[in-house]
Amino acid sequence: MAQGILYMVDQAGGLRRMKPSAPENEDRMQMLVARYPELITDGDGDLLLIKREQAISDAEGGYGRWSLDHLLVTRDAIPVLVELKRAVDTRLRREVVGQMLDYAANATAYWQAGRVAESFEQTARLEGNNAEQLLSEFIGERDAAEFWDQVDANFTAGRIKLVFVADEIPRELARVVEFLNEQMRADVRAVELRWFADDSGVETLSPRIIGETERAAATKRQSRTLEPLTVDGWIKQHIAPMGEIAAAGAQGFTRCVEEVGGEVLVARQQGSVIASTRSDDGRPIYLMHLWPSRSGISFSLRWLYKRPSLADEGVRQGLLDALKDVVGTLTTENLRGFPSFQPGVLADQTVQRKFVVWLRDAFEIARRAV
């Protein structure tokens, strides 16, 4: 797409001619997008960088097969997957589309709860920043655990945004982006980040969004309005396809939570069923999550370890060991992670009775102020 000349007016009232240029390398483009995500934003507003070179697996529990250039999130907790190429890279015309679809398909299928939050904290730590402070500045008064839960739920449900970035977007890619945006649940965009420079080396960047059509925008606005879903309806939709034992175990899980005085509710974005209670100060505590498909039921230590009553690793380890005695092997021993088990385990009435005892103790400890 042809680029003209930009004219900048300097303080003396003179004109500086900014001629079409190009980034010196891809790493510089990536660095600028990471530091200034507003370069590629559109109607979603501000973006929060989660990580550069985010690993994406192609199997459950697998290692990262691919590396995504940037992972960001919107204030509405929508994950944004960004792949960046220079215009001189011939892969920009065809290969980048297949590459991005690989990322999206596998990320939504095999993403593990809590990974986005962990990547964000890792990035903040490497840059010498306080992750909690950065997140608070971004989401305001919202609860951090609720925000990250919503991010995970959106990932699992495929409510994501795919963004192709280049200093020049070929017509072939622009047409593909517009087509995909009309056909997919995910939002698909291209950002042409045009480069200009004057004779003294001063550079100017001019972003242009490509891909949003009025028809696609209207359709996706409607699709974001979710129909209310009961817990039973959620289980029927997300767990029942795994078989009768899994569905029976999921129903058993909800009964156990209610038996010990907990609350069972479908998350706002319908990405999970939450077992919650209230702390002594009235704030919600998300003790466990029932995730869709084979992600299982998690003991959500990723959020719980910050509670005063669970800050001691020995307390968390004791609860984890007791849970293993009830349900068997868990997916992880991480005391700040999401140790999980399959819902079918709770189809057994004997296991359910033992689980109720464990659940009552876990809720009691979690509720304490100290």
CA-to-CA dists, residue 134 to 51, 139, 170, angstroms: 14, 9, 36
Nearest to 216 by CA among 192, 190, 188, 191: 188
Q: How far apart are CA 79 and CA 289, in angstroms?
A: 20
Contact 163, 189 (CB under 8 A): yes
Check residue 3 and give its pLDDT: 59
Q: What pLDDT sits at residue 2?
A: 45
DSSP 290-340: E-SGGG-EEE-HHHHTTSGGG-SHHHHHHHHHHHHHHH---S---TTS--E
For the chain, the first-to-last Cα distance in angstroms comes to: 62
**139 Cβ contact list (under 8 Å, min separation 6):** 75, 147
- Amino acid identity at 208: R
Cα separation, 167 vs 169, whole angstroms: 7
Number of residues in the chain: 370
At how many degrees (to 10) do helices 95-110 and 171-183 cross?
30
Contacts 24+ apart (CB under 8 A), 349-353: 351/326, 351/327, 352/252, 352/255, 352/256
Round to whole Å and give the CA distance between 296 and 246.
9
Q: What is the C-alpha to C-alpha distance for residues 259 and 253, in angstroms, rounded to an integer?
A: 10
Q: Are 73 and 47 in contact (CB under 8 A)?
A: yes
* pTM recorded for the entire structure: 0.71
Q: Helix count (H) and strand count (E) of the chain? A: 12, 13
Q: List the chain pLDDT tens, one digit each, 370 residues.
A: 445 788 888 888 888 888 888 888 888 889 999 999 999 987 778 899 999 988 887 666 555 677 889 999 999 899 999 999 988 887 777 788 888 888 888 777 766 777 888 899 999 999 999 998 999 999 987 878 878 888 888 887 788 899 999 988 888 888 888 888 888 878 899 999 888 988 888 888 888 888 765 444 445 544 455 678 899 999 998 899 999 999 999 999 999 999 999 999 998 778 789 999 988 777 888 999 998 877 789 999 988 888 889 999 999 999 999 999 999 999 888 898 889 999 999 999 999 999 999 999 999 999 886 6
Rounded Cα gap, residues 41 and 249, in angstroms:
43
Helix ranges (H only) for 158-280 are 171-183, 214-223, 231-238, 244-259
| Amino acid 59: pLDDT | 64
Residue with tokens 């020049």: 168
Backbone angles phi, psi at 67, to 5 degrees: -130, 115
Under a CB-based contact definition with an 8 Å cutoff, are residues 150 and 77 in contact? Answer: yes
Q: How many CB atoms lie within 10 A of CB 241?
A: 11
Instruction: Pull the structure tokens for residue 352.
Output: 């359910």
pLDDT at 334: 87
